[in-house]
Amino acid sequence: MSNCPSLATPPSCTIIGRRVGRPKGFRRDDVIERALVLFREQGYAGTSIQDLVKATGSNRYSLYEEFSDKRGLFIAALTRFQSQKLAEATELLSEPGPKIPLLRRYFESLRERSRKCGPVNCLVTISAVNLASGDEEIAACVLQHFAALVQVFERVVVEAKATGEITSPLPPKSLARALINAARGMRIIAQFEGLDETVIDIAETTLALLEPKELMEGGS
């Protein structure tokens, strides 16, 4: 069974190991947040335990007691990262009103963040995907996050279909997966300067495919 916690689990839950003998002043949430920053900057392979000791202000013993090893701390940081991204998407896409403008804002927010942060924003995700091929627990975390995002986008599509805003005959889940796939591609391309028009084109074309009738009429 995977030890990857539910994305709804509070960040303070124990992910790896048991809580024993932590030194006074050890704050788990702070350690995870600082480790997350480091993993985002350097990736998993580029981060050593000594790097984590220095970045978190903890000693090696404390990190091993709380997280077992570097992998355990990475899983905690990955879960925190995924929870943050899921919360951001849920908050934005749950706003009342038409859904296509919300999806457009979501795509725009990805473009802006990627342009400002560059490849740093993706190193946690890239590391997780690379590790997942040989690590069932990390693979479970990646797949769980994807499934949670699909649920969020699927709800948006269902609501938009009910109001006639989305007219595509494809199933809501299929459209949700397509939207997420487009978003991931945009995030990668947006890191390169001079490709703003390409990113915008991907977003607008993806949204247009949700309304095939209007797309066909516009091109006739």
Query: The domain that contains 140 carries what CATH number?
Result: 1.10.357.10
- pLDDT for 139 equals 92
Per the domain annotation, does 141 fall within a domain? yes
Assigned token pair, 206:
């993806």
Domain-embedded: residue 101: yes
Domain count, the chain: 1
Q: How many CB atoms lie within 10 A of CB 212?
A: 14
The whole-number pLDDT of residue 211 equals 83
Q: What is the model's pTM?
A: 0.80
Name the helix (H) or strand (E) containing 13. Answer: none
Whole-number pLDDT of residue 194: 64
What mean pLDDT is reported for the chain? 83
Q: What pLDDT was estimated at residue 89?
A: 95
Range of the domain at 118: 82-219
3-state secondary structure of 16: coil
Residue 95 lies in a domain: yes
Note the pLDDT tens digit of each residue in 121-171: 567 777 888 888 899 999 999 999 999 999 999 999 999 999 999 999 999
Give me the pLDDT at residue 216, please: 44
Residue range 85-110: mean pLDDT, rounded:
94
